[in-house]
Amino acid sequence: MTSTAQVKREIIIDPEGDLNVQLIKRFGSGDTQRTEILVTMKVTRNVLETNSTFFKTMLAGPFKEASQNEIQGKMADSMYSKDKVDIKQIWIAIQTGRRYLFAIEKLEPWFDKWLKKNGGPQLSMFRLYELRSLRYPCHEFDCAWGFAAVTKRLAYHFNGHITEFNPTDFRNLHLPNRLIGGMNGARGNLRTKLHEGIYLQEDFLESQCDCKVQGLFEFEKALHATGVWPLENKMSGRGKLSISEIIDGLEDFKYTQPEKSNGTITATATCSCSKSRVENKIKEAIKKVWGNFDGLCLDCIDNLKTDDIDKDYWQHVWPFDDSDDERRTERKWDGKCRIKHDQPTWYFSWVARKQTHDAHEKEREERKRIKEERARQQRKGGRA
């Protein structure tokens, strides 16, 4: 025999509400099944119908709930404790919205406030493993500043291929793979820019000064002393370092100018081997890499920058030297965007954009599908 335990907890969402929604939890099975009412929420029927296709069908259709002023549903009680909601419960809320066809955009202002309260303006209060679980909610709730902050921190501070972590058992919840590709492309670009900035070996080799051989040795010795060189070894394998950890090591870069046997410094201020010249180039590289990536931009991912998809494509792939600061500043990379950003964010967000198939491509895919189906039928017939 099924029994129902009453729990005296009621949430008044609308004092003038005309419908009670009960969240329940079931124990046992069959005749011994027991139901516990976790909470009763007083709501307005019309508001529920307007914002959920699921409840609209239930309450306005031929189901028994349509004539009742009380309905029950098996849902997570923790979803409604707004001041104590953790990341996992946010994922549960998203899954609940999908299951009951809620207009999840109604929760966007709430999520924005939750994110700022728990993470701070730059989300520095979240740990890296938490950030891996926040990209998806930021994407689903269309939180542009949060998505940019999460992806920026991961690009600089995660020490390997950036993946996603789903804290729930709902395996249908995840980001599109194109967003993972754009994220790791941006991180790879940071590594490339860092390597370009600190690779000064050619400066020594092409120098005309007499101290270049000793200068190159001192440079390599100074890089080795940082513990973060060579980058290829330090950013792969066991114990690999993140971009930020590499930069932290380079902050301790100390270069010794070449000297004669009597202690006289041979390098001049204009020489490639001079202390100020070498150390300033390392500092410039660090500064440039720190300012390179502003995170992925949801607006660049979702929207064209022009009125034509093909024109937009060629603007992104047309070759130009992104190290040319003057040319980079000629264009407004964050036009119509909710966040401010530079060219790398613009480009790698475009890489993560959803591909729109044209009629020719759709027809070609259909022909391929038919061809594969025929081949499958032939193989099946051959085994008969």
Q: Which residues pair with 42 in a beta bridge?
A: 12, 20
Write the CA distances from 37 to 25, 76, 92, 96, 201, integer angstroms: 7, 12, 19, 18, 71
Q: What is the DSSP letter of 335?
A: T
Cβ–Cβ under 8 Å, residues 112 and 146: yes
Count the alpha carbons within 13 Å of 128 in the hemisphere toward its beta carbon: 13
Write the CA distances from 349 to 56, 136, 151, 179, 338, integer angstroms: 37, 15, 11, 8, 14
What is the reported pLDDT for 76? 44
Q: Which residues pair with 41 in a beta bridge?
A: 11, 21
Write the CA distances from 303 to 78, 164, 307, integer angstroms: 35, 24, 10
Using the structure block, give the residue that is written with the tokens 């924005």.
Answer: 112
Write the CA distances from 237 to 136, 210, 234, 242, 312, integer angstroms: 27, 39, 8, 12, 38
What is the reported pLDDT for 136? 96
β-bridge pairing 19-27 and 70-73: parallel
Please give the single-letter amino acid code of residue 134: L
**Cis peptide bond prior to 230, omega within 30° of 0:** yes
N-terminal to C-terminal alpha carbon distance within the chain: 53
Integer Cα distance of 193 and 180 in angstroms: 20
Integer Cα distance of 101 and 52 in angstroms: 5
Q: What angle do CA 129, 130, 131 make, to 5 degrees?
A: 90
DSSP per-residue letters across 31-76 = GG-EEEEEEEEEE-HHHHHHHBHHHHHHHHSSSGGGG-SEEEE---
Integer Cα distance of 311 and 325 in angstroms: 24
Closest CA to 345 of 383, 288, 297, 280: 297
Integer Cα distance of 37 and 27 in angstroms: 11
In a 10 Å sphere around its CB, with 0-12 CB exposed, 13-18 middle and 19+ buried, how is residue 20 labelled? middle
What is the reported pLDDT for 179? 92
β-bridge pairing 19-27 and 3-5: unpaired
Listed as ranges, residues in the chain with pLDDT below 70 are 1-8, 26-30, 54, 58, 60-84, 260-270, 304-330, 355-362, 382-384
What is the distance of C-alpha 17 from the center of its chain?
39
Write the CB contacts of 259 (distance below 8 Å, at least 6 apart in sequence): 265, 266
Cβ–Cβ under 8 Å, residues 54 and 101: yes
What is the reported pLDDT for 309? 65
What is the reported pLDDT for 302? 82
| Sign of the torsion angle spanned by Cα atoms 66, 68, 73, 79 | positive
Q: Which residues pair with 259 in a beta bridge?
A: 265
Using the structure block, give the residue that is written with the tokens 């609209």.
Answer: 56
Long-range pairs of 301-308 with CB within 8 A, sequence gap ≥ 24? 301/179, 301/182, 301/349, 301/350, 301/352, 301/353, 301/354, 302/353, 302/354, 303/336, 305/335, 305/336, 305/346
